[in-house]
Amino acid sequence: MSGGAAPFLPRQPINEALRIAGEKISRDRIIEIRHPYDGTLAGTVPKATLDDVRRALRTARDFKSTLTRHDRYRILMRAGALIASRRDELARLITLESGLSLKDSQYEVGRAMDVLLFAANLALVDDGEVFSCDLTAHGKNRKVYTLKEPLQGAIVAITPFNHPLNQVIHKVAPAVATNNRVVLKPSEKTPLTAYALADILYEAGLPPAMLSVLTGDPAEIADELLTSADVDLVTFTGGVATGKYIAGKAVYKRQILELGGNDPIIVLEDADIEEAASLAAGGSYKNSGQRCTAVKRILVQETVADRFVELLVEKTRAVRYGDPFDPTMDMGTVIDEASARRFETVVNEAVGQGAKLLIGNVRRGALYSPTVLDDVVPSMTVVRQETFGPVSPVIRFKTVDEAISIANGTPYGLSSSLCTNRIDLITRFIQELQVGSVNVREVPGYRLEMTPFGGIKDSGLGYKEGVKEAMRSFCNTKTYSLPW
Ligand code: NAD
């Protein structure tokens, strides 16, 4: 841990209002947002009432956008330019409410700009298909054309705390690109960035009726968001328990569920061990380990494990963590003290069951140090469940069969990383891993904002995000046929 540059202190808390079709609405009942590093009051957001939710949904359903492709392109590009011009301000806001280091927040703002760039450009691409009908003996001289239309009802977007900007924009930008109307409920832990983003989109020219933002107590407002007849689609990113609740509640609505992960990095004996250790450390600690695709299990072949672990500890020791507003820090806090305490508990439990703590497991409030555990076995809680923090648990294995069986031996199936140069093994792992993505010699989280992304098993229903896939699932396909 290290101290450093002057902390960023907001002059006063940011007291936000709901945005219902752009209109700012305050409520007496509020939620406080505290900076996880020192507990400073960062801001407050209103608790929406059921009437607020109903009004937002009805407005979204009733509004029919007439924006052309060019209009949508320009709005999204303008929003990207506004974000670029406020990059530092937005990064500081993310850091303020999440405790993520400024380095992580800056990176996240850059990713959000990529999302807007891709969504803008994909809005220009014609998504129709043409089918000639004279293809078979009973064919005709006709053609069938397809047309992508926005949904009739509203899209409800529910997002988690760990990427306060990027998770939100991955739902909102594809919706704008396809002329849909969104009611967004960001995490009540990190809602301030979502409100700032909504204002940027309005400023960029988005008709306010196309985006409302609501915060509140899920126990009061979630069911209305999930069951209202005004809603056609629920797109959710968050934990498995919440995702399964939504799956049972949002009946006869399209559901996109991007849930938790327990991603392995698998290091085989022929791998470049230096590279593998760098990927494992980066994958474990970036974003304070709070990524759905963070490295959560490190599977290393026994013959190279000692050297690998030595390098991993070295790289872990080099991670600078502390005051999230110190620009030299690699890692800030995790989201709150309760989460940091949970990591401490599962790490202590693993040590009690025979794992070796090599570095870390030091906690101060919500600050939790990068931690390496060796000799972990798959039955330990730290790897059986998703540990959503900067913990690197090393599981040693002997054979490739064993590695595949351990990797697949969890309810999750989001992404994975494989370190080897052997093409025979690369093809085997790609075929046999039960996951949505396999990244060879890259972290599990590697992606373009446009590439298909999402998991199977408990990590999701298999419908992907990524701008292109999201645009596809946010549309109805209509066909029409013409007599030539
Ligand atoms: P969470 O499930 O606790 O909360 C996510 C959102 O759901 C929040 O906005 C919350 O208010 C809302 N919510 C809570 N109860 C609800 C209910 N009954 N009905 C509807 N919505 C409800 O998740 P979190 O702790 O904010 O985020 C961490 C989790 O998200 C981790 O498991 C992580 O792996 C996962 N995640 C997945 C992806 C992915 O793309 N697969 C990406 C990022 C995070």
Q: Is 271 strand, coil or helix?
A: coil
Question: pLDDT of 239-259, one tens digit each?
Answer: 999 999 999 999 999 999 999
pLDDT of residue 5: 43
Q: Which atom of ligand 1 is nearest to the CA of 465?
A: 40
Strands (E), 134-181: 143-150, 154-158
Q: Is the pLDDT of residue 11 over 70?
A: no
Q: Is the pLDDT of residue 3 over 60?
A: no
What average pLDDT does the segment 313-328 reach? Answer: 98
Strand-pair partners of 30: 46
Question: pLDDT of 337-363, one tens digit each?
Answer: 999 999 999 999 999 999 999 999 999
Question: pLDDT of 14-38, one tens digit each?
Answer: 999 999 999 999 999 999 999 999 9
Span from the CA of 389 to the centroid of ligand 1 (angstroms): 15
Return the best residue to mutate from 111, 167, 189, 237 for the ligand 1 pocket (most ligand atoms within 8 A of CB). 237
Q: Is the pLDDT of residue 6 over 70?
A: no
Does the beta carbon of 394 sit less than 6 angstroms from any atom of ligand 1? Answer: no
What average pLDDT does the segment 74-98 reach? Answer: 98
Residue 350, CB half-sphere, CA atoms under 13 Å: how many? 31
Span from the CA of 239 to the centroid of ligand 1 (angstroms): 4
pLDDT of residue 97: 98
Which residues, including other chains, have CB under 8 Å from residue 460's CB and lie 6 or more apart?
A: 243, 257, 258, 259, 414, 436, 454
What average pLDDT does the segment 200-216 reach? Answer: 98
Does the beta carbon of 38 sit less than 6 angstroms from any atom of ligand 1? Answer: no
Token pair, residue 349, equals 């439990």
- Distance between the two ends of the chain, CA-based, in angstroms? 72
Q: How confident is the model at residue 316 (pLDDT cuts 50, 70, 90)?
A: very high
What average pLDDT does the segment 189-213 reach? Answer: 98
Q: For residue 32, indicate whether it is catalytic.
A: no
What average pLDDT does the segment 218-228 reach? Answer: 98
Question: pLDDT of 120-143, one tens digit each?
Answer: 999 999 889 999 999 999 999 999
pLDDT of residue 484: 82
Which residues, including other chains, have CB under 8 Å from residue 125's CB and lie 6 or more apart?
A: none
Does the beta carbon of 108 sit less than 6 angstroms from any atom of ligand 1? Answer: no
Which of left, alpha, beta for 108 (phi over 0: left; psi -120 to 50: alpha)? alpha
Alpha helices in 145-191 (DSSP H): 166-177
Q: Is the dihedral of CA 401, 404, 406, 410 positive or negative?
A: negative
Nearest residue (CA) to ligand 1, atom 10: 187
Q: Is the pLDDT of residue 7 over 70?
A: no
Number of residues that this document lists for the chain: 484
Residue 289, amino acid:
G
Span from the CA of 397 to the centroid of ligand 1 (angstroms): 32
Q: What percent of the chain has pLDDT over 70?
A: 98
Does the beta carbon of 234 sit less than 6 angstroms from any atom of ligand 1? Answer: no
Q: Is the pLDDT of residue 394 over 50?
A: yes
Does the beta carbon of 452 sit less than 6 angstroms from any atom of ligand 1? Answer: no
Q: Is the pLDDT of residue 50 over 70?
A: yes
How far apart CA 350 and CA 9 sit, in angstroms, is 38
Residue 62, CB half-sphere, CA atoms under 13 Å: how many? 9
pLDDT of residue 10: 57
Question: pLDDT of 425-461, one tens digit each?
Answer: 999 999 999 999 999 999 999 999 999 999 999 999 9
Nearest one of 195, 157, 259 to 26, comparing CA atoms: 195
Phi, psi of 355 (to 5 degrees): -75, 155
Q: What single-letter DSSP state applies at residue 127?
A: -
Residue by residue, DSSP assigns 26-37 as: --SSEEEEE-TT
Residue 267, amino acid:
V
From the candidates 16, 97, 224, 292, give the one annotated as an active-site residue.
292
The answer to pTM > 0.95 is yes
Nearest one of 99, 39, 453 to 289, comparing CA atoms: 99
pLDDT of residue 337: 98
Q: Which atom of ligand 1 is nearest to the CA of 455?
A: 41
What average pLDDT does the segment 5-10 reach? Answer: 48
Decide if 481 contacts 133 (C-beta within 8 A).
Answer: yes
Q: Is the pLDDT of residue 2 over 80?
A: no
Number of helices (H) and strands (E), helices first, in the chain?
Answer: 15, 24
What average pLDDT does the segment 286-295 reach? Answer: 98
Q: How confident is the model at residue 150 (pLDDT cuts 50, 70, 90)?
A: very high
Residue by residue, DSSP assigns 318-337 as: T--BB-TTSTT-SB---S-H
Q: For residue 292, indicate whether it is catalytic.
A: yes
